[in-house]
């Protein structure tokens, strides 16, 4: 067998191996977090009551190694989770329409997470040229996805403060 054929076979085997090892979880989480995402991957049910949401969110300016950007820092939302069956999902989303940025995370839950649950959003970066105001209005949403479908548990606005 020629070397080019061996190399091609090895690349295909590596790609197939990575896809097989990753399993369906990557696709599940992305589809659960997407707006209007399918509920097919969220099973069972749960009851969720939002206890605490942030009043403000921060956009902190960062200048390092010749780059200039803003880091979005979003405090956690606290949710009371009860009566979990199967693997339902809790989605936490912040959208800042004026800068064209949305941050979303989906937490697939089990009965082990019943009680006070802290849903978090990892910090993200926004290009400096997209930020020009001292503050923005953000739309905060908490959604559950289960066999019962999609339920908006909480929707509110939050102030996004821009700092230096």
Q: What's the pLDDT tens digit per position in 32-43? A: 444 444 445 688
The residues facing 102 across adjacent strands are 95
Rg (CA), the chain: 20
Q: What's the pLDDT tens digit per position in 128-140? A: 999 999 999 999 9
Is the pLDDT assigned to residue 160 strictly greater than 50? yes
Q: Residue 20 maps to which CATH number?
A: 2.60.40.2550
Residues 6+ apart with CB under 8 A from 52: 77, 78
pLDDT at site 2: 59
Mean pLDDT, the chain, rounded, equals: 82
| Alpha helical stretches, state H, 23-81 | 25-33
Domain region containing 35: 3-163
Query: What span, in angstroms and rounded, lies between the C-alpha atoms of 99 and 95?
Result: 9
pLDDT at site 22: 39
User: How many distinct structural domains can be found in the chain?
Assistant: 1
């Amino acid at each position: 067998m020629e070397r080019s054929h061996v190399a091609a076979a090895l690349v295909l085997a590596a790609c197939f191996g990575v896809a097989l090892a990753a399993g369906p979880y990557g696709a599940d989480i992305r589809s659960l977090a997407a707006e209007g995402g399918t509920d097919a991957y969220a099973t069972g049910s749960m009851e969720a009551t939002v206890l605490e949401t942030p009043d403000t969110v921060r956009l902190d300016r960062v200048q390092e190694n010749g780059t200039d950007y803003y880091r979005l820092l979003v405090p956690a939302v606290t949710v009371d989770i009860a009566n979990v069956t199967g693997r339902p999902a809790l989605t936490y989303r912040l959208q800042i329409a004026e800068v064209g940025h949305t941050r979303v995370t989906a937490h697939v839950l089990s009965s082990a997470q019943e009680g006070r649950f802290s849903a978090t959003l990892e910090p993200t970066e926004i290009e400096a040229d997209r930020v020009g105001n001292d503050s923005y209005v953000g739309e905060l949403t908490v959604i559950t996805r289960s066999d019962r479908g999609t339920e908006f548990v909480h929707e509110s606005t939050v102030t996004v403060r821009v700092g230096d």
